[in-house]
Amino acid sequence: GNVPKKRFGEFGSGFILLGFSDHSSLQGLCFAVFLVIYLVVLTGNSLIALITVVDSSLHSPMYFFLRNLSFLEICYTSVTLPKMLVGFLMEDGRISFLGCAAQLYFLVLFGSVECLLLAAMAYDRYVAICDPLHYTLIMSRGLCLRLVVGPWVAVAPVQVGQTYQVFALPFCASRDLHHFFCDVPPLLELACADTFWNQVMLYTIILLFIILPFSLVVISYIKIIRAILKIPSVLGRCKAFSTCSSHLVVVMLFYGSATVEYLKRRSRDSVDTDKYLALVYTIVTPMFNPVIYSLRNKEVRIALRRILWKK
């Protein structure tokens, strides 16, 4: 009952991200591995964005969405990975109170926008395969812009509210976050107050920005698969499926790990599992995004060759 509490702004020294501190002998190896991953994310996604801008054959709605996804992936990993790399290098997991708040806000902002963007990309594939004759009419430039800008407008104020709600809580004396970045569940564990309304807010956001978009993706792909199965030729079915299989792989990686991470019950025994799940949707998916799209997409490979030959 006499546990010291800290209110908003009183934590001068902030929090300590424990991350992988229980494997201190592997700090150097972790730094090298995550540095390579970050460079792959930056290079791969920047290359995808560049190709889809420079090559006129890729100026279609699908590649417009892909370009925005690549930009998001760079932003998303840049919220967590640089701080992790400094922590591994300096063996220091300290993060300031305001730094933690900023990291949480941008993490949930970019993550929520990405969920909605993946749903928009699924709708684009649905229209392309199920209603190809009206594709250019339906997927107009105006609609594509609204599908990209809309999520930012919808998500930004909501996540400001959630971030303020979390950091307005009184925190206990312990500043140890059992994670490698500031996230809502581990922060709520340090609170010395009833977090019921924080949990309500968290699950509402999960419903709106993860479960609902994922449901739309599932519905889109059910309709897509039905349409593909009706194509008479095997070659036609393979070609139709190849245009959306890359997106489906990214969706399953991102939504799958994020949903399990946020909806499962947290416990001391599951702390390591939570951290590894978070690695999948914050680092692994952004790393594989350019690989999946470039290696499995013939148009992107051709465009890359054209750019390299010009150089």
Predicted confidence at residue 1, as pLDDT, reads 46
**Is residue 294 very low, low, confident or very high in pLDDT (cuts 50, 70, 90)?**
low
Check whether 4 has a pLDDT greater than 70: no
What tens digit of pLDDT does each residue of 164-217 get? 999 999 988 778 888 889 999 889 989 989 999 999 999 999 899 988 998 999
| Percentage of the chain modeled with pLDDT above 70 | 87
DSSP state of 170: P
CA distances from 301 to 96, 114, 304, 310 (A): 43, 24, 5, 14
Quick check: is 9 in a domain?
no
Only one residue has tokens 């928009």, namely 120
Which comes out higher in pLDDT, residue 255 or 21? 255
DSSP codes joined into one string, 236-294: HHHHHHHHHHHHHHHHHHHHHHHHHHHHSPP-GGGHHHHHHHHHIIIIIHHHHHHHHHH
Check whether 266 has a pLDDT greater than 70: no
Quick check: is 3 in a domain?
no
Structure tokens at 2: 């006499």
Q: What is the mean pLDDT of residues 268-287?
A: 74
Range scoring the smallest mean pLDDT among 83-87, 232-236, 305-309: 305-309
Number of structural domains, the chain?
A: 1
Quick check: is 117 in a domain?
yes
Q: Contact at 8 Å (CB) between 166 and 198?
A: yes
What tens digit of pLDDT does each residue of 33-77 get? 999 999 999 998 998 888 889 888 888 998 999 899 999 999 999
Beta bridge partners of residue 177, listed in sequence order:
17
Task: Supply the range of the domain harboring residue 49.
Answer: 15-310
Quick check: is 5 in a domain?
no
Quick check: is 230 in a domain?
yes
Structure tokens at 79: 């919220």
Q: What is the mean pLDDT of residues 93-116?
A: 93
Quick check: is 7 in a domain?
no
CATH number of the domain within which 52 lies: 1.20.1070.10
3-state secondary structure of 60: coil
Quick check: is 48 in a domain?
yes
